[in-house]
């Protein structure tokens, strides 16, 4: 009898790297070229909104113009969600839309979404594919100059934490894919699952993450090799006990 328990999958920038999107902390990563304090904090936005808009506009364009596409790792996770009898929830730290475009539906963007913007006054969130600037107006409340990327900056609370914690408490398998384990609370999810002693924990990454020793099982290599192979194995062997 194959065990088809619930699965929670945490993804990070590494799953989108082979689609052509830069990661953050690799040698050629985003934070090697620009400082977090200058573009990814509420203080940076208050101090120099034009600079923050330029940073996110440059990251939104390739997604809005569909210059990048989901890779076979994204597609394998969408297949897992579609065909697995238990629940499969993807909790992604990524703000790209590659999981959606691969077909994933049960998906939570805990750090927000690049293709959405939010009004700093009324809180309305809308899809936004164009460049964003301080002259843009909120369609709901009419305020100008308060539209910001709908992404979680350092110092802000991630989205969906209650739902994430419920899913982690009820899962039989926790997989971490393409994340360096540097940023909390995501980096702490594996410890939460371990303490419950009812789920297997697996890291699929190019190299050991900060939290590698916390995982019961680790496999290293490119996501486009590891993820499809592991999904195939799940369908033939079920969850390992």
By the criterion CB under 6 A, which residues form the site for ligand APR?
12-14, 17-18, 23-26, 29, 93, 111, 178-180, 182-183, 205-207, 209, 222-223
Of 6 and 180, which has the nearer Cβ to ligand APR?
Answer: 180
Which lies closer to ligand APR via its Cβ, residue 70 or residue 238?
70
Q: Minimum CB separation from ligand APR for residue 145, in Å? A: 25
How many CA atoms are closer than 13 Å to the CA of 165, on its beta-carbon side?
Answer: 7
Beta carbon of residue 140, minimum distance to ligand APR (angstroms, whole number): 27
Please tell me the distance from the alpha carbon of residue 3 to that of residue 6, in angstroms, as a whole number: 9
Nearer of residues 93 and 104 to ligand APR, judged by Cβ: 93
Place of tokens 């490119």: 222
Closer residue to ligand APR in complex, CB, 127/207: 207
Q: Which two tokens stand for residue 148?
A: 């910001």
Nearest distance, CB of residue 238 and ligand APR, angstroms: 24
Active site residue 111: yes
Cα Rg, the chain, nearest whole Å: 18
Q: How far is the CB of 180 from ligand APR (least distance, A)?
A: 3
**Residues 153 and 42 sit within 8 Å (Cβ to Cβ):** yes
Determine the residue with CB nearest ligand APR.
14
d(C-alpha 162, C-alpha 190), whole Å: 16
Retrieve residue 45's tokens.
Answer: 């936005």
* CA torsion through residues 60, 66, 71, 73, sign: positive
Answer for the pair 15, 74: CB distance below 8 angstroms, yes or no.
yes
> Closest Cα partner for 70 from 203, 178, 224?
224
Candidates 109, 111, 150, 200; catalytic one: 111
User: So which residues are the catalytic ones?
Assistant: 111
């Amino acid at each position: 009898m194959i065990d088809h328990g619930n699965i929670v999958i945490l993804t990070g920038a590494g799953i989108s790297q082979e689609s052509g999107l830069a990661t953050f902390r690799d040698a050629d990563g985003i934070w090697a070229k620009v400082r977090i304090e200058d573009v990814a904090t509420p203080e940076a936005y208050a101090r120099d909104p034009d600079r923050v808009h330029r940073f996110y506009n440059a990251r939104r364009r390739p997604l809005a113009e569909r210059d990048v596409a989901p890779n076979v790792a994204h597609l394998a996770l969408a297949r897992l969600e579609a065909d697995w009898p238990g629940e499969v929830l993807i909790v992604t730290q990524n703000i790209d839309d590659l999981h959606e475009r691969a077909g994933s539906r049960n998906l939570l963007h805990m750090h927000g979404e690049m293709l959405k913007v939010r009004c700093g006054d009324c809180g309305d969130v809308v899809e936004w594919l164009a460049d964003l600037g301080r002259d843009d107006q909120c369609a709901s409340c009419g305020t100008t100059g308060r539209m910001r990327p709908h992404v979680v900056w350092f110092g802000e609370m991630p989205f969906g934490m209650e739902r994430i914690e419920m899913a982690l408490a009820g899962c039989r398998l926790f997989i971490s894919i393409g994340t360096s384990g540097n940023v909390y609370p995501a980096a702490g999810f594996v410890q939460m699952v371990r303490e419950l002693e009812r789920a297997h924990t697996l890291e699929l990454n190019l190299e050991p993450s900060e939290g590698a020793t916390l995982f019961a099982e680790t496999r290293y290599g490119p996501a486009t090799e590891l993820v499809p192979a592991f999904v195939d194995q799940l369908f033939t062997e079920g969850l390992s006990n």
